[in-house]
Structure 1
Amino acid sequence: MQYNYRHLYYFWVVAKEGSMSKAAERLDMAIQTISAQVHELEKSLGYLLFKPAGRGLALTESGFAALAIAEQIFLLGEKLPEAVRDAAISPKTKITVGVSDGLSKLVTRQLLEPILEKNDVQLIAHEGEFEDLLADLALHRLDIVLADRPAPSNKNLHVYSEELMKSSIAWFGVNKVLKQTEKSFPECLNDLPILLPTTHSKVRHLIDQWFAKNGINPHIAGEFEDSALLKTFAASGLGVFPAGQIIEKNLKETYNMDMFGSCKDMYEYFYAIRSEKKIQHPLVEAIIKR
């Protein structure tokens, strides 16, 4: 198959602009030249990539398939100057991590521990909605996404998930709140004010089911999207809350909160999600193989 990336680039511009004339204007080239380059690509591939649509052009099914590949190639290509410049300025290895807003900050710190131990790492962290982070990952704007759930099955995203670890769910609170009841766990939760993550968190649905199963009628004093904010209010005495038992030590040392009960057979799972690349980022590999 004989074609080059110049042919593919001209096709990409025409597809983005929607017509040969607009592409020619953008590239400051003759329409005939661009048309000839696109026809060369179609000839090499053996399929038509465009079809007439009014005064412009529309992609064929083959054209959509070609555009998906071209998007990945040229979006990566646009990052080349920045990557080269950054590498020349700083010898550190940069990794851009997306953190789902439903993920505990303390857990995130533990998941990134394998790379934080290195001296030559520059970490760039973006917190956001799960779906938005997956879109950025698919467009190679992120190297990896950390989340409390795996990516949904979607062949168009070209991402896949790996379970990093799991933690049983436990309950925590400060001493002055725990003194409000003399009942044992879990019955004591009927007497205590409770703080919960909002339903954007995967674990919230598990907790609601656990309440129903154990006959708990919770007095919900607050719901929080941000896990750090939830812990701050819990430390002030607003209520007790559930979290992964894995962060028990951190909660004791940082917030002076004690664990007073653990939920049997209920776990919080943590995932790394990455894109399907031929060459994987070495720091991504370090997180996966932790």
Structure 2
Amino acid sequence: MLNYKQLHHFWSVARAGGIVRASERSGLAPQTLSGQIGALEASLGTTLFHRRGRGLVLTETGQMVLDYAEEIFRVGSELEEALRSRAAGRAIPFRVGIADVVPKAIASVLLAPSMDLPEAVRIVCRENKLERLLGELAIHKLDVVLADSPMPDRMDVRGYSHKLGESTISFFAAPALAASLGPQFPACLDRAPMLIPGADAAVRRPLLQWFEAQRVAPRIVGEFDDSALMKAFGERGVGVFPATTLIADEICHQHGVRRLGEADGVREAYYAISVERRISHPATLAISRSGLNRAAGR
């Protein structure tokens, strides 16, 4: 069985960059730390450090063990904080990053289950570009990030993607614009003024490919990173705009627009990205278990 005391000493030495520094920080003798790491290596049957000059460098296996140790002690710290909050009657903080391409209505649907927990939860939402949010996630300033795509391979950040659900895409237009386009869908989109998501949106490329497959060539008159701003322009009749079918009724009611039709085969997915493989935060666990369609009551 893994000795967590030994693992904690290994974690301390790895973070300090050497036994002497870890000794100064912890108050333990260098010989004690060295002995604990030697015992851990013996129990695991592998070498965790290589000596380089007077310092220590993690082996490949040592780096893997450190990754697990970081997760183990982070979760332990969260557990302590959650217990202290419960004992004091305080709400558990739930820090969420929302990628700016995720519609706010969808984000509220996804996060709704976190507010129905037996424990009191205080939700803190931050909206930004996905890359910036993942940077904050990596240093534990956020508990989870909501995105429209999995963790990008190009990011030098450890994270795990948990798919929450998906929805088809529909097109909407203000009543006057919709009446001028004609009843035949998708032919009515040909040469129609079109508002599309910005380059960071995962659904953008599938939409453009769908236009080609349908042999329609809308006139792109606007590109938007913020889906709410795109809908606001669509409400004013500037152009047709795509949005998640799952909240079509809400979009029509809120913005006074009409649904023209659905882009067959184009689907938008939503993910919760966390730094842990197995989710432990109760609020993140709640939204993960609920999923998009169930959270929406569909």
When the two structures are superposed, what TM-score results if normalisation uses the length of structure 2?
0.78
Q: Is the Cα contact below 8 Å between 1:144 and 1:284 reproduced in 2? A: no
Q: In structure 2, what is the equivalent of residue 161 of structure 1?
A: 162
Tell me, in whole angstroms, the C-alpha distance in 2 between the residues paired with 1:203 and 1:138: 25
- List aligned pairs for 1:191-202, cutoff 5 A: 191-202=191-202
Secondary structure, aligned partner of 2:36 = helix
Give a deviation string over 1:55-111, Cα, whole Å, max 9, x none: 311112332232122211223344455434433444545544443333221122223
Q: In structure 1, what is the equivalent of residue 221 of structure 2?
A: 221
Write the letter of the residue equivalent to 1:210: W
**Is the alpha carbon distance of 1:203 and 1:38 closer, same or farther for their aligned partners in structure 2, counting shifts above 3 Å?**
same
Tell me, in whole angstroms, the C-alpha distance in 2 between the residues paired with 1:163 and 1:80: 24
Q: In structure 2, what is the equivalent of residue 250 of structure 1?
A: 250
The Cα shift of 1:157 comes to 4.9
When the two structures are superposed, what TM-score results if normalisation uses the length of structure 1?
0.80
Q: Is the Cα contact below 8 Å between 1:195 and 1:241 reproduced in 2? A: yes
- List aligned pairs for 1:16-95, cutoff 5 A: 16-79=15-78, 82-92=81-91, 94-95=93-94
Instruction: Confirm or deny that 1:284 pairs with 2:273.
Output: no
Give a deviation string over 1:144-201, Cα, whole Å, max 9, x none: 54433345799x957353453x333211122343355447433332343211101321
The Cα shift of 1:133 comes to 5.4
Tell me, in whole angstroms, the C-alpha distance in 2 between the residues paired with 1:243 and 1:264: 13
The Cα shift of 1:132 comes to 6.0
Structure 1 gaps of 5+ residues are none
Write the letter of the residue equivalent to 2:53: G
Structure 2 gaps of 5+ residues are none
How well do the aligned residues superpose, as a CA RMSD in angstroms? 3.4
Tell me, in whole angstroms, the C-alpha distance in 2 between the residues paired with 1:46 and 1:263: 55
**Is the alpha carbon distance of 1:77 and 1:141 closer, same or farther for their aligned partners in structure 2, counting shifts above 3 Å?**
farther
Tell me, in whole angstroms, the C-alpha distance in 2 between the residues paired with 1:278 and 1:246: 26
Tell me, in whole angstroms, the C-alpha distance in 1 between the residues paired with 2:135 and 2:261: 38
**Is the alpha carbon distance of 1:73 and 1:265 closer, same or farther for their aligned partners in structure 2, counting shifts above 3 Å?**
closer
Give a deviation string over 1:116-157, Cα, whole Å, max 9, x none: 456844333343444665676687765554433345799x95
Tell me, in whole angstroms, the C-alpha distance in 2 between the residues paired with 1:59 and 1:175: 64
**Is the alpha carbon distance of 1:227 and 1:56 closer, same or farther for their aligned partners in structure 2, counting shifts above 3 Å?**
same
Give a deviation string over 1:184-231, Cα, whole Å, max 9, x none: 433332343211101321211111011111222222111111211211
Q: Is the Cα contact below 8 Å between 1:143 and 1:284 reproduced in 2? A: no
Tell me, in whole angstroms, the C-alpha distance in 2 between the residues paired with 1:115 and 1:32: 47
Q: In structure 2, what is the equivalent of residue 175 of structure 1?
A: 175
Tell me, in whole angstroms, the C-alpha distance in 1 between the residues paired with 2:279 and 2:192: 52
- List aligned pairs for 1:201-240, cutoff 5 A: 201-240=201-240
Secondary structure, aligned partner of 1:202 = coil
Write the letter of the residue equivalent to 2:39: E
